[in-house]
Amino acid sequence: MPRKIEVLIVGTGAVGSFYSGKLAQAGARVSALCRSDFDIVKERGITVKSINGDFHFKPAEVVNNIADYQAEPDYIIVATKALPEINTADIISEKVCSNTSIVMLQNGINIEDEVYNRFPENEVISGIAFICATRTAPALIEHIDYGRLIIGKYPRGSSENAEKLANLFLISGINCKVDDNIIMSRWKKLLWNAPFNPISVLGGGIDTKTIIESESSLKLVRDIMEEVIAIAEKSGYSISSENIQKMIDETIRMTPYKTSMLNDFENRRPMEVEAILGNTIRLAENYDLHVPCLKSIYALLSLVNEQNQKRYRNSI
Amino acid sequence: MPRKIEVLIVGTGAVGSFYSGKLAQAGARVSALCRSDFDIVKERGITVKSINGDFHFKPAEVVNNIADYQAEPDYIIVATKALPEINTADIISEKVCSNTSIVMLQNGINIEDEVYNRFPENEVISGIAFICATRTAPALIEHIDYGRLIIGKYPRGSSENAEKLANLFLISGINCKVDDNIIMSRWKKLLWNAPFNPISVLGGGIDTKTIIESESSLKLVRDIMEEVIAIAEKSGYSISSENIQKMIDETIRMTPYKTSMLNDFENRRPMEVEAILGNTIRLAENYDLHVPCLKSIYALLSLVNEQNQKRYRNSI
């Protein structure tokens, strides 16, 4: 019997819990590094209420400090939120072994470089999750809709390790594609995230339907998308502007959806303002691109994020 | 003894109550048209707690329908909020007499045309109030700071009636200037209102100091001011861009200030989104001017205004 594939998941939020549970179902030995939910995950494991069937997942090891982890991981899957205050490279460095692939399963753009530059001998795999799932309580995840994955070697190219990981996901029933040009997919996801996530918060806590029904806010969605396309173009990723209408049409057909950023806001959790907007704007500045709509919502969302965190700190 | 100057104030919010009380102190016969506060104003009059000395003011007549008003006004002072759902011309039309000057004491830009076009035989006076005052309860006003007025014939020029009104204010102790180019003053006030009012709401309920301390939001303030200056320029009002730094410096020196729009938002009252942003953007569109920052905050603020009103309606 061949040795089991060894996976360490970093972060047991909705995304980390769901996908690592699936890998365990497919036969990998999956362990979890978690902080706030450590005690309960260690004691009870993680329960996932899923539209495709509920399941329970007990990690092989549960640690709150990576030094306690006993194995040599084939994959470290980073599924924490992409926040400036989380230094992923520091967190994982002790267990990045020669054969370890680091999978960055996070939102936003340019979220791989910190790890990519720190571990030049290791393969970095970038991953994008298309899923509606929420951690409704510690160690309890609700999977509401979707679930497919796209992964690929960072910054581009083919990868046996990505293929192997995709195979595991496929065995578990997850639609996982390997993409040799993964950052193109990341830009396309950003094309949706950059307008809809911030507007859902700044517009007063609204779902996708409400955003699209207002003429001036639909115009803002389009303008932001145009700016994202211009930055992607300069970065070497050419996205046709036909994608804008296509994405809006898809959003019209979607069940009205509350974005993950709005969920974070309402639960007083930090929002991924930098990963989604800050990094994007910094690229625009490198290219001397004028992106007034992105800058407007970035300035406002940064204020809201700060106020929201301040109120949270004051309430605990 | 000459006949007393006859004034009808429309709207007994903070601005209407404060300034009409002052005109009564100066010897005018002042009556009030009010809706929600009708009973209490009729019974008790209006109390103003003012940094310059508290005072009480009992209007000569208090009516909730203009048809009940018995006099022929020399001045009808419109001091309601500038909201699309309030049709001022309809409200006052029955008592606009041949000698009546209509004073538009409201925020925003292009708020005079409705009345100006409807009563072409009457003089329209545009007025700008620089005051921090709040209606803290029905018929109770708190005057916290400032208080000066600028008034002038709309759209421009000199006016005996404006001089006469200004004199009354001066007698009552109000610093009131007559400006032959009043719309220029309106644009200058908008230069401050257009960024600070919306950002105070969209930024999560913050004061002027918080807006200015964040680098990206201060940049947004500047960008919005640049756009306002460009629209004013096309409208024939040339404001030097040195005014931007001057206004920011003044705001830095100010006691941290909570804008009136934020007050409205927090009290679930409709915000003057159209008077301050909508009218401004429509001018820009007439001139084919590109104003992405104004349009971004307009789209967001419209969403917030709608949500805020919806929640209010659901809560009553």
* Residue ranges, chain B, pLDDT below 70: 1, 312-316
Q: Which residues of A touch B206 (CB under 8 A)?
A: 303, 307
Q: Are B174 and B151 in contact, with CB atoms under 8 Å apart?
A: no
Q: Name the more confident of B242 and A256.
A: B242
Are A300 and B206 inside 8 Å of each other by CB? no
pLDDT over 90 at A3, yes or no: no
Task: Respond yes or no on whether the N-terminal peptide bond of residue B73 is cis (omega within 30° of 0).
Answer: no
pLDDT tens-digit series, residues B124-138: 999 999 998 989 999
pLDDT at A313: 65
Q: DSSP letters along A123-180, please?
A: EEEEEEEEEEEEEEETTEEEEEEEEEEEEEESSSS--HHHHHHHHHHHHTT--EEE-T
**pLDDT for res B310:** 85
Q: Do the Cβ atoms of B219 and A298 come within 8 Å?
A: no
**By a Cβ cutoff of 8 Å, what residues of chain A touch chain B?**
199, 202-206, 210-211, 214, 216-217, 219-220, 223, 292-293, 295-300, 302-304, 306-308
Of B206, B295, B307, the CB nearest to A204: B307
**Cβ-Cβ contacts under 8 Å, A293 against chain B:** 292-293, 295-296
pLDDT at res. B43: 97
Question: For the segment A36-86, what is each residue's pLDDT rounded down to a tens digit?
Answer: 899 999 999 999 999 999 999 999 999 999 999 999 999 999 999 999 999
Neighbours of A156 (CB within 10 A): 15
CA-based nearest distance A291→chain B, Å: 9
For chain A, state the CA radius of gyration: 19
In this structure, chain B runs to a length of: 316
Q: Is B212 helix (H, G, I), strand (E, B) or coil?
A: helix
- Please name the residues in contact with A37: beta carbons below 8 A apart, sequence gap of 6 or more: A12, A138, A139
Residue A17: Cβ-neighbour burial (10 angstroms; 0-12, 13-18, 19+): buried
- Sign of dihedral through CA atoms A22, A25, A30, A35? positive
The two three-digit tokens of residue A280, written as one number: 């994007």
Contact A216 B306 (CB under 8 A): no
Dist. CA B30–CA B75, nearest whole Å: 10
CA distances from B85 to B9, B271, B273, B275 (A): 19, 12, 12, 12
pLDDT given at position A1: 63
Tokens coding A289: 């691109």
Q: What is the mean pLDDT of residues A279-284?
A: 98
Cβ contact A105:A129 at 8 Å = yes
Say which DSSP state A99 is in: T
* The pLDDT value given to residue A312: 63
pLDDT at B195: 98
Furthest-apart CA atoms within chain A: distance in Å: 61
Closest-CA residue of A relative to B298 is A216
- The β-bridge partners of A103 are A77, A125
Contact between A219 and B296 using a beta-carbon 8 Å cutoff: no
Report chain A's mean pLDDT, rounded to a whole number. 95
Chain A residues whose CB is inside 8 A of the B307 CB are 203-206
Strand-pair partners of A125: A103, A153
Closest listed residue to residue A7, CA positions, set A74, A100, A107, A86 = A74
Closest of A128, A149, A108 to residue A272, by C-alpha = A108
Q: Would you list which residues of chain B are within 8 Å, Cβ to Cβ, of chain A?
A: 199, 202-206, 210-211, 214, 216-217, 219-220, 223, 292-293, 295-300, 302-304, 306-308
Sign of CA dihedral B291, B295, B298, B304: negative
CA atoms of B148 and B109, how far apart (whole Å): 19
Nearest beta carbon to residue A202 from set B217, B292, B300: B300
* E strands present in B15-139: 29-33, 46-50, 55-57, 62-63, 75-78, 101-105, 124-137
- Is the pTM of the predicted complex or chain greater than 0.90? yes
Confidence of residue A311 (pLDDT cuts 50, 70, 90): confident
Q: ipTM for the complex?
A: 0.91
User: By CA distance, what is A291's nearest residue in B?
Assistant: B292
Query: pLDDT at position A314, please?
Result: 61
pLDDT in tens, B139-182: 999 998 899 999 999 999 999 999 999 999 999 999 999 999 99
Nearest CA in chain B to A196: B300
The beta strand positions in chain B, using DSSP E, are 6-10, 29-33, 46-50, 55-57, 62-63, 75-78, 101-105, 124-137, 140-153, 176-178
A216·B293 Cβ contact <8 A? no
Q: What is the pLDDT of residue B312?
A: 63
CB contact under 8 A, A296 and B299: no
Q: What pLDDT shows up at residue A254?
A: 85
